[in-house]
Amino acid sequence: MEGTTIRACSWSPDDAHLAIGCTDATIHILHGRTFQELRRLLFANARWLLSVAPDVSHGCRLWDIAAGKLRTILRGHTASITTASFNPTGTRLATASMDHTVRIWDIERAAPLAVLRGHTGPVLDVAFSPDGKFVLSASEDRTAKVWPASGGRCTHSFKHFNWVYAVRFSSDGRYIATASWDHTVRLFRASDGALVKRLWEHAGAHVRHLAFSPDGETLWSGADDGSVSGRRLSNIIDA
């Protein structure tokens, strides 16, 4: 991958494959143990790979990993797709777009199920809850929102002082983390939307990335100054 910049990467849930997206518009599928390149074609589960590119179709391409072939292109957004996320079972897909909406798709039928409207700015990130019943979105309108995955109005809305760039549910679904260009990470209780803690882990830097550890015990965040911070969830809640 010389001569290009890695923009994003994602492991398959079974750790068998690593997908790497680069700024030269290529996607590289690597073996999960040897890191040998298997195919060159962002977001994957054990069966499907999804590639998103800012082209005039505003669609996302669904690839069959085993066959290395394009299955279909999901179309419906009216502006570029910014990111996407599979639900835990790999049967649903949520796509976020510059058109201010989130769309939910049935993967097997490659069919749209719902359009989530309510943001007043481009949607920058999206994530499913661990049980797949809710969708979390982040937007340039300075809010993060929780939606029923089946469609309908948002159930909770969380405010920041600048763009919300990343959102994640904790592995048990009890907490929601948001990361913003206002230099903060915030932790909310999923049940009632109450703010649990505001974290200033990256003073003066835009926070772009969030991840809970697989065991749910640590919340990680990354900012555009290159800093990475990890905090044990129990320490955040008890502080």
What span, in angstroms and rounded, lies between the C-alpha atoms of 184 and 190?
18
Burial of 186 (0-12, 13-18, 19+ CB in 10 A): buried
Whether the per-residue pLDDT at 102 is higher than 70: the answer is yes
173 contacts 131 by C-beta, under 8 angstroms: yes
Whether the per-residue pLDDT at 48 is higher than 50: the answer is yes
- Dmax over CA atoms of the chain, in Å, equals 50
Q: Would the CA dihedral through 28, 33, 35, 36 be positive or negative? A: negative
pLDDT digit string, tens, across residues 120-137: 999 999 999 999 999 999
**φ, ψ (nearest 5 deg) of residue 156:** -145, 150
Strand partners, 135: 128, 147
Domain spans of the chain, in order of start: 46-238
**φ, ψ (nearest 5 deg) of residue 238:** -85, -15
Give residue 197's identity as a one-letter amino acid code. K
What span, in angstroms and rounded, lies between the C-alpha atoms of 32 and 14?
9
Is 235 in a helix, a strand, or coil? Answer: helix
Q: Would the CA dihedral through 207, 211, 213, 219 be positive or negative? A: positive
Give residue 66's identity as a one-letter amino acid code. A
pLDDT score at 67: 79
pLDDT score at 61: 85
CA distances from 155 to 119, 135, 137 (A): 13, 10, 12
pLDDT score at 55: 57
Task: Check residues 198 and 23 and name the one with the higher pLDDT.
Answer: 198
Q: Which fold has domain 46-238?
A: Methylamine Dehydrogenase; Chain H (2.130.10)
pLDDT score at 157: 98
CA distances from 58 to 36, 75, 121, 144 (A): 31, 7, 17, 23
Q: Which residues contact 173 (CB under 8 A, 6 or more apart)?
A: 129, 130, 131, 190
Whether the per-residue pLDDT at 168 is higher than 70: the answer is yes
Burial of 109 (0-12, 13-18, 19+ CB in 10 A): exposed
Task: Check residues 93 and 66 and name the one with the higher pLDDT.
Answer: 93
Under the banding of pLDDT at 50, 70 and 90, the label for residue 42 is very low
Which range among 124-128, 140-144, 220-224 shows the weakest confidence by mean pLDDT? 220-224
Q: What is the mean pLDDT of residues 151-172?
A: 96
Average pLDDT, the chain: 87
